[in-house]
Structure 1
Amino acid sequence: MTKTILGLDKEKTNALVADLNTLLANFQLYYQNLRGLHWNIKGKNFFELHVKFEELYTDSQMKIDMIAERVLTLQGEPLHTFEDYIKVGSVPVGKSVSNDEEAVRLVVSSLTELLSIERNILEASDDANDEGTNSMMSDFIAEQEKTIWMLNAWLN
Structure 2
Amino acid sequence: MKTNSLGLDLKKTEVLAAELNILLANFQVYYQNLRGLHWNIRGKRFFDLHVKFEELYNDSQLKIDMIAERILTLGGRPLHTFEDYIKNNKLFVGKDISNDEDAVNLIVNALTQLLKIERVILKQSDEALDEGTNSMMSDFIKEQEKTIWMMKAWLEEEI
Q: TM-score, normalised by structure 2?
A: 0.98
Partner of residue 123, structure 1: 123
Partner of residue 143, structure 1: 143
Any idea what the Cα deviations from partners look like across 1:86-133, whole Å, max 9, x if unmatched?
A: 000101110000000000000000000000000000000000000000
Any idea what the Cα deviations from partners look like across 1:47-81, whole Å, max 9, x if unmatched?
A: 01000000000000000000000000001000000
Partner of residue 84, structure 2: 84
Q: TM-score, normalised by structure 1?
A: 0.99
Shift in Å, 1:25: 0.2
Residue type at the aligned position of 1:101: E
CA RMSD of aligned residues (A): 0.4
Aligned residues: 156
**1:109 pairs with 2:116:** no
Residue type at the aligned position of 1:111: L
Residue type at the aligned position of 1:105: N
* Aligned partner of residue 92 in structure 1, secondary structure: coil
Shift in Å, 1:142: 0.2
Residue type at the aligned position of 1:147: T
**1:98 pairs with 2:98:** yes
Residue type at the aligned position of 1:26: N
Residue type at the aligned position of 1:83: E
* Aligned partner of residue 98 in structure 2, secondary structure: coil
Q: Give, in whole Å, the separation in 2 of the partners of 1:117 and 1:91.
A: 11
| Stretches of 4+ aligned residues off by more than 3 angstroms | none
Q: Give, in whole Å, the separation in 2 of the partners of 1:123 and 1:91.
A: 21
**1:27 pairs with 2:27:** yes
Q: Give, in whole Å, the separation in 2 of the partners of 1:47 and 1:115.
A: 28
Q: Give, in whole Å, the separation in 2 of the partners of 1:13 and 1:5.
A: 11
Partner of residue 134, structure 2: 134
Q: Give, in whole Å, the separation in 1 of the partners of 2:119 and 2:92.
A: 18
Partner of residue 4, structure 1: 4
Shift in Å, 1:11: 0.5
Shift in Å, 1:5: 1.2
Quick one: percent identity of the two aligned structures? 72
